[in-house]
Structure 1
Amino acid sequence: MRRLKRKGYLLFFLSLLLLSTLCGCGGNTASSAASKEKTDSGEGITTEAAEDKDTINLYYLNAEEDGFKKVPYTLQNPNDSVKASYEVLYKLSDTEGNNTSEYKASIFDGIAVNDVSPLENGKENIDFGAAYGQLSHVKEVLLRTSVVKSLLQIKGVEGITFSVNGSSLLDTDKVPVGLMNEDTLLTDDGEKSIYSEKKKVKLYYTNKTGDKLISCFREVEVKNNVPLETQVLLMLKNPPASKKNLKSPLSQDFHVNQTQIMNNTCYVDLSSDIENAVADVKEKITVYAMVNTLTDLDTAYQVQFTIDGKRVSKLNEFEKFDTLLTSNFSLCK
């Protein structure tokens, strides 16, 4: 009987606490006491604690698209890693809702997520559509890094692999990218450059007489948000000092306004300085030094040139400069 009375007093006391909370009297104290009692009794955790536990940081691109902006997000399916991964990928793909003055969606417009497949030991494979293969090197690294950094925060996700239409994602050396996890990321918050990966590329210079192309392997470090295509073109201005038989096919005032990869085509907008011919170098050699170098990167198989945003049918003595150009190895020595 006494036990029942004590239980009744306890219920009455808790009712008073609840009433005082609703009335705004001592609300903070009552709420804290109720939360502590619930936690100590082993009945569960508070709502606030649950929200903290299920909240992760999504790694969007910053406004300059050269790093990341962390934005908190509360998972709707925190106990299902695959569903949670779909959530995250959807948010990172929402180019309409997540392009602000401070950050932008990191899965670029037109890039489809085909599937999220769970693998053994907490690993997942993300399969993208064919358009993923058309991304520039810098954009691809940005996208992939943002996805990995975001997904690894989900409970049960220990590593990510990537594929494109069911085939393993390859790097620029045609080697599978492989598993990405905490050990493969450069920093926790992306402050350091993610473009420090060095690549071996084949550049096409000219011989001393300017009538033949000579290929030369060089190492390039992709950095500072400059597309790889732009970097290799600028490298054509300066042959390696150790290669005495090589000559630049481009003038020293050569400038690239922009390069962009789309539908297997590299679109190159040059400044009008390209019209300044190099002494003793044929225009055909100048043009195909650029075309062969770009197509050898395997990001595109044809090149479309413009000069200051306009198509120009003739570059000095070279006809049809405004057409889609493919590699020409018959000019190589």
Structure 2
Amino acid sequence: MCHKQREDASMRRKCMKCLCILLIAMLLTGCGRGRKPEVSGTCIYYMNAEGTRLVKEAYDIKGDGAEAEIKAVLSDMQKEPEDEDCRSAFPKGIRAEDWKLDKGRLDLYFNESYKDIDTSSEILLRAALVQSLVQIAGVDYVNFYIGGTPLTDNEGDEVGYMHAEDFVQNTGSSLHSYQLANLHLYYADKKGDKLAEEEVSVRYNSNMSIEKLVVEQLIKGPSMQEHQPALPPETKLLGISVKDGICYVNFDDQFQSSVYGINPELAIYSLVNSIVEAGNASQVQISVNGETDVKYQGAIDLGKPLSRNLDLEEGEGK
């Protein structure tokens, strides 16, 4: 496929994704039964009276500094709101007993009763907390612990750090539904000197952003024998979000490990090209443990957002 055809196809996919996001956003409403104007500025997330969806109300975050603001938001979210058409997203008996903030990463510690929450209520609580707390300056990602143990999904995998964009598709009614995504992923070719495209269909929980799905598939590795993984399989994704057309991806130290026979540039653009192809971002900012002032394997500067590199992709015209 030539560059022009690829760019046209990518643009069509981006337009369709934008339309879907706009439709989903229209499902998020205020608490009252009547029609209310869209809430602007900071807000707090509750559940509607039926407990089927999230709603948001204007909220003035109180406190001097991030730690005081976190304390205030958690306290208010565990109380029942004055509006009778709303209720706290916290199920009865569930408490956030402690929390720690370090370099933009907020760890919340819940009592053991958290394990007994039904699936819909659990996802609603997670979405309400994350979307409320990341509005605080100094809070970029939120992680959940149950009795000191990291929260896991139905397959036993750690949920990890979350951002508001992880719940963009969960503000509607189908909070625990699954959907099918057709991804165009870029791995290393057999020689390890070019990016080879692989199209895969993945069934995933709507609780996950498409960018997170892309990165997890890249870490998992290719399904075709003639392709090679470009990222180390032990890499851990600490957080991912999209803002103003830039996808922010944060990894642990294992990201810096090299894959034998793979050029460092190929590893970086396996990630960048795959995320940009997904359609929600035009650039990717990579960080390691929250730091961007690093050089990947001592060779590639990660200080600025990176754009797609078509020259590294296999195919006609390259």
| TM-score when normalising by structure 1 | 0.48
Residue 320 of structure 1 deviates from its aligned partner by: 1.6
Change in 2 beyond 3 A, CA 1:328/1:74: closer
CA distance in 1 between counterparts of 2:259 and 2:306 reads 21
Q: For residue 222 of structure 1, what is the amino acid of its counterpart?
A: Y
Contact map agreement 2:245 2:280 (CA 8 A) in 1: yes
Change in 2 beyond 3 A, CA 1:240/1:280: closer
CA distance in 1 between counterparts of 2:259 and 2:246 reads 27
Secondary structure at the aligned position of 2:77 is classed as coil
Contact map agreement 1:206 1:247 (CA 8 A) in 2: yes
Q: For residue 199 of structure 2, what is the amino acid of its counterpart?
A: F
Q: Which has the higher contact order (CA 8 A, sep 6+)?
A: 2
Which residue pairs with 2:199 in the alignment? 217
Q: For residue 100 of structure 1, what is the amino acid of its counterpart?
A: M
Instruction: Tell me how large the CA RMSD over aligned residues is.
Output: 3.4
Q: For residue 36 of structure 2, what is the amino acid of its counterpart?
A: Y
Secondary structure at the aligned position of 2:306 is classed as coil
For 1:281, which of 262, 281, 289 is the aligned residue? 262
Does residue 73 of structure 2 align to residue 85 of structure 1? no
Structure 1 unaligned residues grouped into runs of 5+: 1-70, 76-83, 112-134, 147-185
CA distance in 2 between counterparts of 1:213 and 1:329 reads 9
Which residue pairs with 1:260 in the alignment? 241
1:290-311 superposed Cα distances (whole Å, 9 cap, x missing partner)? 0001111111111111101111
Residue 74 of structure 1 deviates from its aligned partner by: 6.3
Does residue 95 of structure 2 align to residue 100 of structure 1? no
Residue 317 of structure 1 deviates from its aligned partner by: 4.1
Does residue 281 of structure 2 align to residue 331 of structure 1? no
Which residue pairs with 2:169 in the alignment? 141
CA distance in 2 between counterparts of 1:74 and 1:213 reads 52
Which residue pairs with 1:150 in the alignment? none
Change in 2 beyond 3 A, CA 1:236/1:74: closer
CA distance in 2 between counterparts of 1:215 and 1:325 reads 19
CA distance in 2 between counterparts of 1:266 and 1:74 reads 34
Secondary structure at the aligned position of 2:219 is classed as coil
How many residues get paired? 184
Which residue pairs with 1:306 in the alignment? 287
- How do 1:227-242 and structure 2 match up within 5 A? 227-241=209-223
Change in 2 beyond 3 A, CA 1:240/1:311: closer
Contact map agreement 1:283 1:317 (CA 8 A) in 2: no
Larger radius of gyration: 1
Residue 223 of structure 1 deviates from its aligned partner by: 1.7
Which residue pairs with 1:318 in the alignment? 299
Contact map agreement 1:234 1:255 (CA 8 A) in 2: no
Task: State the identity %.
Answer: 18
Residue 239 of structure 1 deviates from its aligned partner by: 3.9
Structure 2 unaligned residues grouped into runs of 5+: 1-29, 41-45, 47-54, 61-72, 79-87, 90-124, 136-163
Residue 214 of structure 1 deviates from its aligned partner by: 0.5
Secondary structure at the aligned position of 1:286 is classed as helix
